[in-house]
Amino acid sequence: MSTADLFDELPVTVSRETLAPGAVLLRGFAREEGAALQQAIADVTRQLPFRHLVTPGGYTMSVAMSNCGALGWVSDRSGYRYDALDPLSGRPWPAMPAILRKLAVRAAVPAGFAHFEPDACLVNRYEPGARLSLHQDRDEQDFSAPIVSVSLGLPAVFLFGTPSRKDRPQRHRLQHGDVVVWGGPARLAFHGVAPLADGEHALLGRQRINLTFRRAR
């Protein structure tokens, strides 16, 4: 299948913008599935309620997190890592719902990653004021797989830079249903989220939910 064919398969309401070599923004890619995705996320967070993790430096994160999939991302005083078990309960993470996994696999294709197999999905919840400072996703074993990031609920300003911390990031407004995929030369790009503005979203209320799919091992 050529790139043109894949592009033709995008729903008509989806546009593809290049943020940087290796990074694309698929506006509206997940919009039509929003309610079904919300159901799947609720199933996950019923099993593993959102919690505010502590950074290795001792700060409590303003973003609340949950996980699903074989591996979960964890932060505590000893560092950042992926673990097959929740260190708090000693139990495996909730399974990754098929609707979530399929969305990530499908979104990776028009970004140029035809065989993405995520084994970790971090669920981030932003309430008004919550932010995520600039960072690289580098706790994964192999950087050949992309990051697939799905935005639901309130709009946010996504900061997206380069693999060098010195470069000032660009600001992109992400709305409900937008998906960003970055990999290849952009895989280690610095990124973050500006403090969430208050608001009320028709489906999700006063919050933004972000799903970050990764191949951790």
Give the residues lining the site for ligand SIN (CB under 6 A). Answer: 122, 124, 132, 149, 151, 158, 191, 193, 210, 212
Other C-beta atoms within 10 Å of 167: how many? 11
In sequence order, what are the residues at sequence separation of 6 or more whose Cβ sits closer than 8 angstroms to the Cβ of residue 153?
176, 201, 203, 204, 205, 207, 208, 209
Q: What are the structure tokens assigned to 124, written together? A: 């981030």
The partner in contact with residue 33, picked from ligand SIN, Fe ion, none with C-beta cut-offs of 5 to 8 angstroms by kind, is none
CB of 137 to Fe ion, least distance (A): 4
CB closer to Fe ion, 137 vs 178: 137
The partner in contact with residue 149, picked from ligand SIN, Fe ion, none with C-beta cut-offs of 5 to 8 angstroms by kind, is ligand SIN
CB closer to ligand SIN, 56 vs 114: 56
Binding residue count for Fe ion, defined by CB under 5 A: 1
Among positive and negative, which fits the CA dihedral 32, 1, 144, 110? negative
Pick from 33, 119, 137, 178 the residue near Fe ion by CB under 5 A: 137
Q: Which of 108, 77, 92, 106 is nearest to 183 (CA)?
A: 108
Write out the binding residues for Fe ion, residues 73-102 only, by CB under 5 A: none
The partner in contact with residue 210, picked from Fe ion, ligand SIN, none with C-beta cut-offs of 5 to 8 angstroms by kind, is ligand SIN
CB closer to Fe ion, 10 vs 80: 80
In sequence order, what are the residues at sequence separation of 6 or more whose Cβ sits closer than 8 angstroms to the Cβ of residue 55?
61, 75
CB closer to ligand SIN, 46 vs 138: 138
The partner in contact with residue 132, picked from Fe ion, ligand SIN, none with C-beta cut-offs of 5 to 8 angstroms by kind, is ligand SIN
CB closer to ligand SIN, 109 vs 124: 124
Q: Which of 45, 175, 184 is nearest to 122 (CA)?
A: 45
CB of 102 to Fe ion, least distance (A): 22
DSSP state of 201: B
Q: What are the structure tokens assigned to 47, written together? A: 């099993």
DSSP state of 33: G
Binding residues (CB under 5 A) for Fe ion: these are 137
